[in-house]
Amino acid sequence: MLQLKSPYHDGTTHIVMEPLEFMQRLAALVPRPRLHLIRFHGVLAPNAKLRPAIIPSASRDANPVAPDQAESPYSSLLARMSWAQLLKRVFDIDLEHCPNCGGTLTIIAAILDPTVIAQILTHLGLSARAPPRAPARSFDRLQMAFYEDHICQPSAAD
């Protein structure tokens, strides 16, 4: 049973659904993967002619422009974050500072060849294969409803 925030025009305050119907309605609200959830219109749209006039531009020293990109209307945009900065921001993995002394680390190579990566991992005694995915777990709907009732209901000790 779902309680509505405000009643419908006909006075309906609750909606009763089967569990599968509720899950279908809930799944319909989940956006597709890699779909932008914020859309810009007008001057803020990605290809708007006046967009370069209103977005902030970086100083010339902070973002040097290559000669072949000098005529591009987006040449004054801020530089993108490095992948090391993105890893720190998303996963809290700091690849820019040494964990032992705190000094600045320098990235000397990015190894992309799968065979070389496998050789390095096996030399270090690590598995070169990714761990297997766990199979999907099945659940009993009756047991799940019983579980939800116990979670949603406050116990007598509370």
Kindly state the helix (H) or strand (E) to which residue 27 belongs, with its residue range.
Answer: helix 19-28
- Domain count for the chain: 2
Residue 98 is part of which domain span? 80-128
61: DSSP letter = T
Residue 102 lies in a domain: yes
Whether the Cβ atoms of residue 3 and residue 14 lie closer than 8 Å to each other: yes
Residue 11 Rama label (left phi>0; alpha psi -120 to 50; beta)? left
Q: Cβ–Cβ contacts within 10 Å for residue 44, how many? A: 13
Residue 6 lies in a domain: no
Same domain, 66 and 94: no
Residue 155 lies in a domain: no
Same domain, 75 and 108: no
Q: How many CA atoms lie within 13 A of 107 on its CB side?
A: 10
**In whole angstroms, what is the distance from residue 62 CA to residue 60 CA?**
6
Residue 3 lies in a domain: no
Residue 98 lies in a domain: yes
Same domain, 68 and 87: no
pTM: 0.31
User: What string of pLDDT tens digits covers the 158 residues of the chain?
Assistant: 888 899 999 999 998 999 899 899 888 888 888 777 777 888 888 888 988 888 876 554 444 555 555 555 554 445 677 888 888 888 888 888 888 898 988 878 889 999 999 999 999 999 888 888 888 777 666 666 665 555 555 555 54
Same domain, 71 and 24: yes
